[in-house]
């Protein structure tokens, strides 16, 4: 075998080896997934009408119209006893107390008995539902309820 033939065989072997390595690299590369990441859906809820027993709030109600796909860490009612019907910013972690529900949230109506006494010198109870999700974000009900007594 002549030197030229040996050189040609080496070139062919190198080309074949390069093509084989390229084939292996392409077949091992991660595949493109055309599906987008799931959308973060937060819970949606509305405030229900509280029931009273004598001079106390007996039950608070709220309604989940959607539980979303993010874990709900806490939910309940934020409320304020007020001297009149003045609107206040009902948010958790502020000046107003919360009535936290302890059962796992479920789609539809949720209620809990609290027996919270009405405060002397006040004439209005203002309240709305909330849900705190994983990551700390808080969703509030689209409606609030004001009850004059």
- For the chain, list residues with pLDDT below 50: none
Distance (Å, rounded) from C-alpha 81 to C-alpha 19? Answer: 78
- Tens of pLDDT, residue by residue over 4-45, are 766 566 676 666 676 666 766 666 666 666 777 778 899 999
Task: Give the containing element (helix H, strand E) for 5.
Answer: helix 3-28
pLDDT at position 6, please? Answer: 63
Q: Which segments within 40-137 are labelled E, that is strand?
A: 44-47, 51-53, 56-66, 72-82, 98-100, 108-117, 124-133
As assigned by CATH, the class of the 44-148 domain is mainly beta
pLDDT at position 2, please? Answer: 76
Q: Which segments within 67-123 are labelled E, that is strand?
A: 72-82, 98-100, 108-117
Report whether 133 contacts 45 (CB < 8 A). no
pLDDT at position 99, please? Answer: 97
**What does the domain layout of the chain look like in residue ranges?**
44-148
Q: Classify residue 61 as exposed, middle or buried by CB count within 10 Å of its CB (0-12, 13-18, 19+).
A: middle
Distance (Å, rounded) from C-alpha 123 to C-alpha 69? Answer: 39
Tokens 């390069």 correspond to: 18
pLDDT at position 20, please? Answer: 62
pLDDT at position 27, please? Answer: 66
Give residue 136's region: left, alpha or beta (phi > 0; psi -120 to 50): left
pLDDT at position 125, please? Answer: 94
């Amino acid at each position: 075998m002549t030197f030229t033939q040996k050189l040609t065989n080496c070139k062919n072997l190198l080309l074949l080896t390069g093509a084989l390595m390229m084939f292996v690299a392409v077949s091992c590369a991660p595949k493109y997934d055309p599906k987008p990441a799931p959308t973060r859906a937060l819970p949606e809820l509305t405030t229900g009408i509280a029931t009273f027993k004598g001079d106390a709030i007996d039950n608070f109600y709220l309604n989940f119209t959607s539980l979303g796909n993010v874990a709900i860490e806490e939910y309940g009612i934020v409320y304020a006893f007020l001297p009149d019907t003045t609107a206040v910013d009902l948010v958790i972690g502020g000046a107003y107390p919360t009535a936290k529900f302890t059962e796992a949230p479920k789609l539809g109506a949720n209620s809990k008995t609290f027996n919270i006494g009405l405060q002397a010198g006040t004439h209005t109870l203002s309240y709305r539902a909330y849900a705190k999700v994983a990551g700390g974000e808080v969703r509030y009900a689209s409606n609030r309820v004001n009850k004059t007594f």
